[in-house]
Amino acid sequence: MDNNTIAANIFRTLNIVFLGMTMGQVIMFALFFNLRQNNLGLHLPFQYVALAAVVGAILGAPWLYSRLLTSYQNGANLPFGNKMRAYFSANLVKLAVLEAAALSCLVFLFLTGQLYYAYLFLAVFFAFLLHRPKPVKCAEDLQLNDEERMYLPR
């Protein structure tokens, strides 16, 4: 398989996964927001857990992403296909961490009915949207040379 096809397949798959994760969060937010219960007693223990999950995900996901990319690229002269697979894997982990924090906020919103969790969800959801996989960011993160940049979709 040539490098153009590899890059196109990776980005097509990543964009489909990103869209699915985004739509899942939006649907779950609409569902849990409309079905939320009013249980104020659960708010006190959950508020700090949710805040820690959101802050941890927003700060930790990019850190984990960069650590995974560097661990996958121990050798600087990896073939282009291996670099793209490393980029795919690291992105999946980063997006999953952000989505996990968002979904935990939605569960807490459903259980307590407090809008505090909806606001936390929106913060982590917008952070999730900022981490959409893009070819420019891929070239930057993988430190691709000019020849390898040509393989990326426009």
List the domain range (segments joined by +) for residue 49. 3-149
- The answer to whether residue 82 sits within a structural domain is yes
> What average pLDDT does the chain have?
92
For the ranges 22-31, 33-42, 123-132, which has the lowest average pLDDT?
33-42
The total domain count for the chain is 1
- The answer to whether residue 154 sits within a structural domain is no
The angle that helices 43-72 and 80-112 make with each other, rounded to 10 degrees, is 180
d(CA 78, CA 86): 10
- The answer to whether residue 123 sits within a structural domain is yes
- The answer to whether residue 97 sits within a structural domain is yes
Query: Can you read off the two tokens belonging to residue 125?
Result: 């959801």
Q: Please count the other Cβ atoms lying within 10 Å of the Cβ belonging to residue 31.
A: 12
| CA-to-CA separations, 110 to 35, 40, 83, 127, in angstroms, rounded | 7, 11, 40, 21
- pLDDT given at position 75: 59
- pLDDT given at position 30: 96
d(CA 45, CA 87): 37
The per-residue pLDDT for range 54-75, each reduced to its tens digit, is 999 999 999 999 999 988 876 5
